Every structure is written in C-alpha cells, then in structure tokens.
Amino acid sequence: MSIKENTSPSLSVFQGDAEATPADSPRILVSRLSAIGDAILTMPVVCCIRDAFPNAFIGWAVESKVVPVVQHHRALDTVIELRPGWYRSPTSLAETRKHLRDLRFDLTIDCQGTLRSSLACYLSGASRRIGFHGKHLWDLGGVLNNEKVSPVFHHQTDRALELLTPLGIHHPKVKWELPIEKSDLKWASDFRSKIKSPRVAILNPGGAWASNLWEPDRFASTARYLADRYGYHSLVVWGTFNERLMAERIVELSEGTVSLAPDTSLKTLAALINTADLFISGDTGPLHMSVAVGTKTIGLYGATRPGDSGPYGQVALQLQYESGSRRHRRAADNRAMRAIGVEHVCAVVDEMHAKKRVARAA
C-alpha cells in the first residue's frame, strides 16, 4: 500500500490508492477516536466489513495516539488521524471537513457514541450515518447520526458489531488481525529465545486510572507462584515513568522470578505479548492487545465492568466494583482491585493448566 500524508495542523491521512476502488463499491468510514484498548475492541468491525464487502473503500477516523495500533491493518484503505484540538476552531473544522469529503464516504459507522465521534461522521458528508440509540451514547453523541441501532449486547465489541446489522451483516465472526510488522515479530522472537524458562508470563501493572491498578507486591507474589509451580519466568512491561517505578518494584520483590521488559513501542509490545504464554493485567490497552494476538489472558477488574470491556473470550476477575459515575470511578483509589487476592489469580492459573492436561489426555 502506498502511503500519502496530508500535513495540515489538525489532520493527517494515511491512505492507499483510492482510485483503485471500483466506482460502485461502498465507501465506509468507521469512527472510534480515542483509547488504544477501545480501538482494539473495535477491530472486529473493520474485519467484518472487509469480509462482507471485499471491494469497499474503508477508512477509520482516530485520534493521534491510536494511529500506531490501526495503521496498516489489512482491512483498511485509509487511516484518518484527527490531531488534538481538531474540533475546537472553525479553521480546524473546515480543514477536517474538506479532507474527509475528499475521500467521498457514503456511509459512516460511529462505534463510540460521543459528540466528537459523530461529528467526524457528519463532517464526512456521508448520507447514511449509523450509530447507537439509547444508554450507550455520551453527551450529544446520537444527534448527528441518522440511522440508530439499539444494542442488545453489553460488551463493547459485540455492541459495535451490532451496528453492522443495517448493512445485512448478522452473526459476524469475531477476529482482530492486529497488524504487527515482521521485523517486530523477529525482534520479539529473538528476545524470547534468550529466556531459558519453558514458559513466559507478562505482567502489566500500569493503567490510565489509579482505581484500576493492582498492587506491585501481589504481582510479585503471583510471579513467584508461577515460577515455583509451573516454571514460568515473568516479564513486567511498562510505558510511563511511574509504570517503570512500579515494574522495578515488582522485580525487586520477585526473588529473581521477574525481569524488567525493555522499552517498547505499541507495535513491539504487541509482538512481545505474542511470544508469551500468559498475560496478567488490569483493564488497559495492552490487555486487549493480548486478546487480539491470542495469548492466554487474565484481566483484573475493579472500577470497570468486565461485561463491558473485559478480555473478550478470556478470563476476568472481579470481586468488588467501584460503583458511581465515570468521574468518581476514575478518581477513586484501588480498594476494589485490592479485593482480588493473589490466591484468586493463582486459582485461575491452576484451572488453566488443569484444562490443558485434560485436553492433552483426551
């Protein structure tokens, strides 16, 4: 795919050859702007559209931090990067409108349900703008869409897939196809080969909300159990400075069973997770990345609900829920997460290995 980039202050377009798309094929824009995990949870939508309409021209509007996750996805022809502040001034709105309309979308799918995500759809000029109806809308998110779907399912991925029913897509197969470069896969494979333990677990202590963080000493205790019982060596991944401090604390408490992972980009992190046998994390982007690459995943939940954003098809643990508004839950401490004990996580690991033994014996 050739890449062309528009360098306006508010928007970049990474695209292939639009003229190669047959004139009578649908031109579809998906809008899911922010949060890495939410973008990954939306990937099955573009996979299903591509499978249903192989000749369609498919674009995805995202905000800047999500671009590395979705760029080069096999289902996409275009990634439209909406930069910070793209909706805050008449000039930026006019630039965004022009570039979206240049792509001639005739159909949009708003998978987010916010005013910003529906605004991107509206500015595209598409005549059909599909979005949610009901409780899954934020602020004035539904105002600018003209076809409404009332979702039956609760999980973000299933809800987003329900938006495809007006296109005649029913009972879609859920797949992710997270794009990872071959060079990143090779780097991760080479890194994994230096770890002599038969199994590798990746621990991810970080997260955007303090209320979603599990304690470093509990990660360390879990790693010791994994090593003693099943021969795992654990890697602890990190992104920010504070996350590195947490990671270093886990290594310090682990009695040699955990190593600090190297600094990674989003793509190299995905490749590294792809080499692991197990991934343990709170509700954050890398958790959903792990699901997307097919690694066994345990999600730890306190201030969010696994029914809404759990590791799709995998294991989620929640013993208490920090109820209240989103603002309250985001600002709360991690008392709900502290209800999850090391013994609860280790019991899940035991069950996973028991199932493996049964499967091998069958």
Lowest mean pLDDT among 242-246, 304-308, 339-343, 355-359: 355-359
pLDDT digits (tens, 9 = 90+) for 241-252: 999 999 999 999
> Contact, 201 vs 324, CB < 8 A?
no
Q: Which pLDDT band holds residue 141 (cuts at 50, 70, 90)?
A: low
Residue 12, pLDDT > 70, answer: no
114/172 Cα distance (integer angstroms): 24
Residue 3, pLDDT > 50, answer: no
Report, as an integer, the average pLDDT of 15-21. Answer: 50
pLDDT of residue 9: 55
Residue 1, pLDDT > 90, answer: no
- Name the token pair of 16: 């292939």
Cα dist from 135 to 121, 140, 324, 327, whole Å: 20, 12, 16, 17
Q: How far apart are the first and last CA of the chain?
A: 45
Longest distance between any two alpha carbons in the chain, whole Å? 66
List helix spans (H) across 103-155: 115-123
Mean pLDDT, all residues of the chain:
90
Residues of the chain with pLDDT > 70: what percent? Answer: 92
SS3 helix, strand, coil % of the chain, rounded to 5?
45, 15, 40
C-beta pairs of 187-190 under 8 Å, 24+ apart in sequence: 187/268, 187/271, 188/268, 188/271, 188/272, 188/274, 188/275, 189/275
Report, as an integer, the average pLDDT of 58-75. Answer: 93
For 323-355, the DSSP string reads: -S-HHHHHHS-SHHHHTS-HHHHHHHHHHHHHH
Of 220, 352, 239, which is closest to residue 286 (Cα–Cα)? 239
> Contact, 188 vs 267, CB < 8 A?
no
Report, as an integer, the average pLDDT of 38-63. Answer: 96
Of 268, 270, 304, 52, which is closest to residue 156 (Cα–Cα)? 304
Rounded to the nearest 5°, which phi and psi values hold at 275? -85, -10
Report, as an integer, the average pLDDT of 165-184. Answer: 94
Question: What dihedral do alpha carbons 169, 173, 176, 179 form, nearest 10°?
Answer: -80
